[in-house]
Amino acid sequence: MAENNMISNNPFGINIALPKKSIQEVQKVAKQELANISVNPFLNYLDENDKVFSGEVAKEIRKYQSQVYALGQVMREGQPRTTFNLKV
């Protein structure tokens, strides 16, 4: 019975006490880092690349691919086809 009371009074992990100075230093550093964090670079990135995210760039790429394919078809049709001349 005595062992059970000893375990419940000092459970693993809870019996560790951090120095007050360490906690204050961690809080100070955390406040400084939070003050330095800015969301503006992320928002600027989204604004600059809005066409990519909205799908406009993919639409333009598909448009240019279809133009290149159509141009290739026209060029292939305009080329004379090679035939074998069997007459000597």
The domain locations on the chain are 38-77
Instruction: Compute the half-sphere exposure of residue 66: CA atoms within 13 Å on the CB side of its CA.
Output: 5
Type of residue numbered 63: K
**Helical ranges in 1-88 per DSSP H:** 2-9, 20-36, 40-48, 50-54, 56-78
Burial of 13 (0-12, 13-18, 19+ CB in 10 A): exposed
Q: Does the predicted model carry a pTM greater than 0.85?
A: no
Give the angle subtended at the CA of 39 by the CAs of 33 and 44, to the nearest 5°: 140
Give the whole-number percent of the chain exceeding pLDDT 70: 72
What's the average model confidence in pLDDT over 11-18?
A: 65
